[in-house]
Amino acid sequence: MATKEAVQVYGRKKTATAVAHCKRATGEGGMIKINGSPLDVLSPEILRLKVQEPVLLLGPEKFAGVDIRIRVKGGGQVAQIYAIRQALAKAIVAFYQKFEDESTKKEIKDILLSYDRSLLVADPRRMEPKKFGGPG
């Protein structure tokens, strides 16, 4: 039996967590699915563009050889979008590191980091609890 070439990574923003499962594409082109539905039906449209940033930066040819499935839970709508885009970027970097050559992985990582560091590095900020006696 052939070994499956797959990596699993996660992206986080506030309390939202997205888990990306990235494996070599079985068909002619790669696909990206979020909670079982394609990336193209993600709403609202402005936030869909935010999720597509890693694909637009690296070009569709880098994603053509991989299938990526992302499950996302927790947080609000915007936090989930940021968790998804981080998981997507980390998945492609991890896949190229494990199954492709190191130079391509370094090139991908440099492109993503020069655009936005939060694509690969989690934002540690969390909401502070409300203090008693204070407003709100």
Query: pLDDT by residue (tens digit) across 1-29?
Result: 456 889 999 999 999 999 999 998 887 77
Overall average pLDDT of the 37-43 stretch: 91
What gap in Å lies between CA 17 and CA 89, rounded to an integer? 14
Predicted TM-score (pTM) of this structure: 0.91
Overall average pLDDT of the 54-83 stretch: 93
Q: Residue 26: its pLDDT value, please? A: 82
CB atoms near residue 79 (< 10 Å): 19
Residue of 44 and 18 predicted with greater confidence: 18
For the stretch 84-101, pLDDT in tens is 999 999 999 999 999 988
Strand pairing partners for 50?
Answer: none
Q: Which two tokens stand for residue 69?
A: 């499935």
Residue of 134 and 75 predicted with greater confidence: 75
